[in-house]
């Protein structure tokens, strides 16, 4: 859902990330160094390129 909304709704609206661990991380490449979870602020890890990339 977050990827289809305008950024102002994602950051301030009903689709903002939760502050607690979601327990079901789905990762995206934030900046080529860090991967972050789509669902929570807690989820963060080093980025590794997906296989075949």
Tens-digit pLDDT profile for residues 3-51: 665 655 555 555 567 778 888 888 899 898 999 998 888 888 999 877 6
Examine residue 53 and state whether it is found in any structural domain, yes or no.
Answer: yes
Number of structural domains in the chain: 1
Question: For position 48, what pLDDT does the model report?
Answer: 87
Q: Is the pLDDT of residue 1 over 70?
A: no
Question: For position 6, what pLDDT does the model report?
Answer: 61
Question: For position 38, what pLDDT does the model report?
Answer: 87
Examine residue 7 and state whether it is found in any structural domain, yes or no.
Answer: no
3 state DSSP class of 10: helix
Q: If you ran DSSP here, which 8-state letter would residue 42 be given?
A: S
Examine residue 5 and state whether it is found in any structural domain, yes or no.
Answer: no
E-strand ranges in the chain read: 27-29, 34-37, 44-46
Give the residue numbers spanning the domain of 23: 19-53
CA 12 to CA 5: how far, in whole Å? 11
Question: For position 16, what pLDDT does the model report?
Answer: 61
Examine residue 14 and state whether it is found in any structural domain, yes or no.
Answer: no
């Amino acid at each position: 859902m977050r990827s289809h909304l305008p950024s102002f709704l994602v950051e301030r609206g009903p689709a903002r990330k939760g502050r607690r661990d979601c327990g079901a991380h789905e990762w995206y490449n934030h900046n080529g160094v860090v991967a972050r979870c789509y669902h929570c602020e807690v989820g963060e890890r080093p980025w590794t390129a997906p296989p075949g990339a």
